[in-house]
């Protein structure tokens, strides 16, 4: 196949991947705590000093682009909700939650109480405490009787003046080596040497009755969607032109 055809097809694939990521970002523009993703492309064309390892009787397929998913962990805007179970982190760090697959980390603080009084995320995952990494439970009867949980800036939870527990808030060395496993959940990457979570710094505080919004800028994403669509169309035209050239060459050679 013509090398130019490979380049154009690689451009088509890259544009399709980019459009998928942009669509995911736009779908979560109103998801609190969501962090937008980006695709970083790197050329991996083999050079003379690093030839591809292939059998001697075969040739290497030209790989032009390799996509790498990158998550933007910049903070989103904070909005006041007035709900005492909504929490937002000001500064770096993550809440710690328990999932069926193990411990995960999130910036989404849209919490609620389960039937037994366990503080859980919007998806029903228990929120863990800093003391014993156990779910935080609040007396449902006291809650129904008019008491409202109070959370201070350090994440300490009290109800009617009685200490309930403290939210586990951790952070990781930067740049973050975290893998997104769901819309707002992260786990440490699989790379060797990934640092373990540590308690968040003193500059990280909890704001009760507030939520951190998604850091997706819908206007910017729409602009990038148009750019990616036009790039896809351009690559498609190039593929079509190469196909026409090949067909024309075959037909003319047949007449000769």
- Residues 94 and 79: their CA atoms lie apart, in Å, by 18
Give the model's confidence band at 247: pLDDT under 50 very low, under 70 low, under 90 confident, else very high. Answer: confident
Asked if 58 and 114 sit in the same domain, the reply is no
User: Mean pLDDT, to the nearest integer, of 3-11?
Assistant: 74
Asked if 190 and 129 sit in the same domain, the reply is: yes
**pLDDT, position 245:** 76
- My answer on whether 133 and 43 are in the same domain is no
Contact between 214 and 76 (Cβ < 8 Å): yes
Res 140 pLDDT > 80: no
Q: Identify whether residues 92 and 207 lie together within a single domain.
A: yes
pLDDT value for 47: 45
118 and 162 part of one domain: yes
Q: Note whether 162 and 147 are same-domain residues.
A: yes
Question: pTM here?
Answer: 0.81
Residue 138 has a pLDDT of 87
Residue 14 pLDDT: 85
CB 154 within 8 A of CB 206: yes
Please tell me whether residues 42 and 108 are part of one structural domain.
Answer: no
Burial class (CB in 10 A: 0-12, 13-18, 19+), 179: middle
Question: Between 52 and 108, whose confidence is greater?
Answer: 108
SS3 23: helix
At residue 45 the predicted structure's pLDDT band, cuts being 50, 70 and 90, is very low
Give the residue-averaged pLDDT of 96-111: 95
Helix, strand, or coil (residue 33):
coil
Same domain, 199 and 144: yes
Q: At what angle are helices 218-255 and 3-27 packed, to 10 degrees? A: 160
Give yes or no for a contact between 170 and 196, defined as CB atoms under 8 angstroms apart: no
Do residues 225 and 196 share a domain? no
Per-residue pLDDT reduced to its tens digit, 61-77: 544 556 678 999 999 99
Sheet of 102-106, strand order: 178-180, 185-188, 102-106, 94-99, 169-171, 198-199
- Nearest CA to 112 out of 128, 127, 102, 97 is that of 127
Contacts of 55 (CB under 8 A, 6+ apart): none
User: How many structural domains does the chain have?
Assistant: 2
Q: Note whether 119 and 138 are within 8 A (CB).
A: yes
Same structural domain for residues 43 and 9?
yes
Q: Are residues 90 and 201 in the same domain?
A: yes
Spatial CA neighbour of 39 closest among 227, 248, 212? 227
Q: Report yes or no: 110 and 95 within 8 Å, Cβ to Cβ.
A: no
Percent of the chain that is helix, strand, coil (3-state, to 5):
25, 30, 45
Same domain, 191 and 84: yes
Please give the pLDDT value at position 227. Answer: 93
Please give the residue range of the domain that contains residue 46.
3-74+216-255
């Amino acid at each position: 196949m013509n090398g130019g055809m490979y380049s154009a097809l690689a451009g088509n694939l890259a544009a399709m991947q980019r459009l998928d990521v942009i669509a995911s970002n736009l779908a979560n523009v109103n998801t609190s705590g969501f962090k937008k993703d980006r695709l970083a492309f790197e050329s991996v064309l083999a050079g003379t000093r690093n030839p591809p390892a292939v059998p001697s009787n075969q040739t290497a397929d030209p790989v032009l682009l390799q996509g790498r998913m990158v998550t933007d962990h910049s903070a989103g805007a904070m909005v006041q909700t007035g709900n005492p179970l909504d929490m937002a982190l000001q500064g770096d760090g993550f809440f710690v939650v328990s999932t069926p697959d193990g411990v995960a980390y999130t910036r989404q603080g849209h919490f609620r109480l389960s039937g037994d009084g366990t503080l859980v995320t919007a998806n029903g995952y228990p929120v863990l405490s800093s003391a014993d990494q156990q779910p935080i439970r609040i007396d449902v009867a006291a809650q129904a009787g008019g008491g409202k949980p109070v959370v201070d800036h350090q994440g300490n939870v009290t109800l009617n003046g009685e200490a309930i527990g403290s939210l586990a808030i951790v952070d990781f060395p930067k740049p973050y080596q975290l893998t997104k496993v769901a819309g707002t959940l992260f786990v440490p990457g699989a790379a060797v040497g990934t640092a373990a979570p540590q308690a968040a710094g003193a500059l990280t505080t909890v704001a009760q009755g507030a939520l951190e919004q998604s850091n997706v800028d819908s206007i910017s994403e729409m602009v990038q969607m148009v750019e990616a669509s036009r790039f896809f169309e351009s690559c498609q035209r190039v593929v079509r032109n190469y196909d026409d050239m090949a067909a024309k060459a075959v037909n003319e050679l047949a007449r000769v």
